[in-house]
Amino acid sequence: MANDYLKDKCGVFGIFGHKDAARLTYLGLYALQHRGQESAGIVTSDGRLVREHKGMGLVSEVFNEEEISSLTGNIAIGHTRYSTTGSSNIKNAQPFLVETLAGHIAVAHNGNLVNALTLRRKLEKEGAIFQSSMDSEIAIHAIAHSKKKDFKERIKDGISQLEGAFSMALLVEDGIIAVRDKRGFRPLSLGKLDGAYVIASETCAFDLIHAEFIRDIEPGEILFITDKGLKSDRISDKKTRCSFCVFEYIYFSRPDSSIYGHNVHLTRKRQGRELAKEAPCKADLVIAIPDSGSSAAIGYSEQSGIPLDMGMVRNHYIGRTFIQPAQHIRDLSVRVKLNPVKDVVKGKKIVVIEDSIVRGTTSKARIRTLREAGAKEIHMRVSCPPHISPCYYGIDFPTKEELIGSSHTVEEVRRFIGLDSLAYLSLEGLYKAMPLPKNKFCVSCFTGKYHVLPEHGIGKFNLENQLSFLNKI
Ligand code: AMP
């Protein structure tokens, strides 16, 4: 159950004013599956009645024809939630739906609140009874406890109390609301389809349903979407510095998405080009660790002139029910996901392009399989700097101690993974590859400098642990 609050990296989707709202949300969630595989859910409204269906697992496992058909109404929001070890719990599946005095309200959240505990304690003192350990539930109670008269004002007032990273879709009985925190840590976009408005974490969800991209929800914007159209308001003034998550470009978002206004694949290709300039390599072949290293590998190959080939193949059909093999055959589990193409790598000097090294353990196992496949020399180039600090804004990184880059030199990491050479892209090189000026980004995982500190300090952020600790004293 630990660490739910550290790992709320998710996909959100919403649609207002379409007769096939649930079905389109289901399809949108398919496109956002990479943002979360633990659970999926949809809540719909026909303006009066609200319906929900949630479950553990992939979108394809959670919904069937019957369930989709029962989700009636022309308003819907949906959510895919990221898988975390030990926290597979239906209580934490989203959207989170409650009935308040003013009617039903549901929330689908991507991000991490940094003032969750303080806010929760305050709300509990005011009588709120929490059902889950999700920070999304805090948002709902903050709205329900607002003293403002008008429902929209209450929503705005409740959301304004949240601090940290949140891109949210909310459903009320007669509309949906899209809101993004004032620093804009996580992406959220607005689109249109057959006169209906659509919101999604990433634009790849629009492509799938043939929706047209209109614009991003702005940092600090709250957008009410009802049958009166769009009403944009703000939860904060516009002066706050942007903190777009750079890791969305590096690893998390899909390459066919445009986030913060720019395509992910082309950005990663530029990272690969910068990497080739900074860290050239004498090799016969460039190979990618698929899928997240593929775009940077193309850029590295184009810039260096070293041919690109497919040295590893990914199995996409593992799912969450994959049974871990017993200890003595555990080594084989890495091949379930990625298998080298022996005839490509055998006898070759290869430069492997990886998007990031986090713990270093997966890379070590993958490199061993490439050695076993007969690669003569293996050089690794990583398309971002070493990760030295955890993320408090919604990306699933382990603690500082577990991040190999926080305590090991590049040479030590090279030896641990078993490489002939290793180099990372510098922070300056990363900035050069980015489509926006450097002051727009959050790079705290590479620098340890945070734009907004978690309420209980660095390294003490886990809300569930905080709650159980406080409950004991
Ligand atoms: P490791 O060698 O154990 O550090 O794992 C590196 C691999 O993890 C790379 O292929 C990355 O694409 C992938 N990765 C990076 N960040 C994350 C994350 N937050 N969640 C899951 N995988 C990640």
- For residue 433 the two structure tokens come to 């590859």
Q: In this predicted structure, what is the pLDDT of residue 91?
A: 84
Mean pLDDT for the stretch of residues 59-83: 95
Position 271 scores a pLDDT of 98
**3-12, 161-170, 360-369: segment of lowest average pLDDT:** 3-12
- Whether residues 197 and 293 fall in one domain: no
Rounded distance, CA 442 to CA 459, Å? 18
What is the average pLDDT across 282-309? 98
Burial class (CB in 10 A: 0-12, 13-18, 19+), 305: exposed
> What pLDDT score does 336 carry?
84
pLDDT digits (tens, 9 = 90+) for 212-271: 999 999 999 999 999 999 999 999 877 789 999 999 999 999 999 999 999 999 999 999
Convert the pLDDT of each residue in 422-447 to its tens digit.
999 999 999 999 999 999 999 999 99
**From atom 23 of ligand 1, which residue's Cα is the shortest distance away?**
358
- The Cα–Cα gap between 310 and 466 comes to 46
Give per-residue pLDDT as tens, 98-134: 998 889 999 999 999 999 989 999 999 999 998 887 8
Tell me the C-alpha distance between 271 and 6, whole Å. 27
Residue 3 pLDDT greater than 50, yes or no: no
d(CA 190, CA 230): 11
Whether residue 455 is contained in a domain is answered as no
Distance 388 CA to ligand 1 centre (A): 14
Instruction: Determine the pLDDT at residue 238.
Output: 72
State whether residue 309 is helix, strand or coil: coil
Give the residue from 134, 57, 143, 47 showing the smallest Cα distance to 96: 134
pLDDT at 285: 98
- How many whole angstroms from 48 Cα to the centroid of ligand 1? 44
131 and 40 part of one domain: yes
50, 112: one domain: yes
For residue 355, cis peptide bond before it (omega within 30 degrees of 0)? no
Residue nearest to atom 19 of ligand 1 (CA): 396
Measure 218 CA to ligand 1 centroid, in angstroms: 29
Provide mean pLDDT across the span 389-402: 89
Q: Which atom of ligand 1 is nearest to the CA of 358?
A: 4
Ligand 1, CB within 6 Å, residue ranges: 251, 289, 292, 354-363, 395-397
Q: Provide, rounded to the nearest whole percent, the portion of the chain with pLDDT above 70.
A: 90
d(CA 235, CA 220): 5
What pLDDT is attached to residue 327? Answer: 61
Q: Which two tokens stand for residue 286?
A: 């460039």
Give the total number of structural domains in the chain: 2
Nearest to 220 by CA among 266, 172, 166: 166
Mean pLDDT score across all residues of the chain = 91
- CATH number at 87 reads 3.60.20.10
3-state secondary structure (DSSP) of residue 177: strand
**Ligand 1 pocket mutation pick from 253, 318, 362 by most atoms within 8 angstroms of CB:** 362
**Do 237 and 333 sit in the same domain of this protein?**
no
pLDDT band at 83 (very low <50, low <70, confident <90, very high): low
Q: Give the pLDDT of residue 7.
A: 46
Nearest CA to ligand 1 atom 15: 356
CA of 28 to the centre of ligand 1 (A): 25
Per annotation, catalytic residue among 10, 245, 281, 442: 10
User: Does 220 share its domain with 314?
Assistant: no
| 365 Cα nearest atom in ligand 1 | 2
Q: For residue 195, what are its two tokens?
A: 């006169």
Q: With the C-alpha atoms ordered 312, 313, 316, 318, is the resulting torsion angle positive or negative?
A: negative
pLDDT of 6 > 50? The answer is: no
Q: Do residues 330 and 230 share a domain?
A: no
Q: How far is the CA of 421 from the centre of ligand 1 (A)?
A: 19
Asked whether residue 248 is assigned to any structural domain, the reply reads no
Q: Whose CA is nearest to atom 20 of ligand 1?
A: 396
For residues 180 and 282, state if they share a domain: no
281 is catalytic: no
* Paired strand residues for 54: 41
Tokens of 58: 């992939």
**Ligand 1 centre from 425 Cα, in Å?**
16
Do 197 and 290 lie in one domain? The reply is: no
Q: Of all protein residues, whose CA lies closest to atom 21 belonging to ligand 1?
A: 396
Whether residue 375 is found in the same domain as residue 330: yes
Distance in Å, CA 268 to ligand 1 centroid: 16
Site to probe by mutation for ligand 1, drawn from 3, 81, 249, 251 as the one with most ligand atoms within 8 Å of Cβ, is 251
Write down the pLDDT at residue 136.
84
Burial of 34 (0-12, 13-18, 19+ CB in 10 A): middle
Q: Residue with the nearest Cα to atom 18 of ligand 1?
A: 396
> Looking at residue 325, what is its pLDDT?
65
**Given the CA of residue 354, which atom of ligand 1 is nearest to it?**
10
| Residue-range definition of the domain harbouring residue 274 | 262-445
Pairing of strands 421-424, 377-382: parallel
Residues 171 and 210 in one domain: yes
Helices 135-144 and 116-125 meet at what angle, rounded to 10? 40
Could you report the per-residue pLDDT of 127-163, keeping only the tens digit for each? 999 888 788 889 999 999 999 999 999 999 999 999 9
219 and 269 co-located in one domain: no
Residue 32 confidence (pLDDT) above 90 = yes
* Angle 360-451-119 from CA coordinates, rounded to 5°: 100
Closest residue CA from atom 7 of ligand 1: 357
Residue 392: CATH number of its domain: 3.40.50.2020
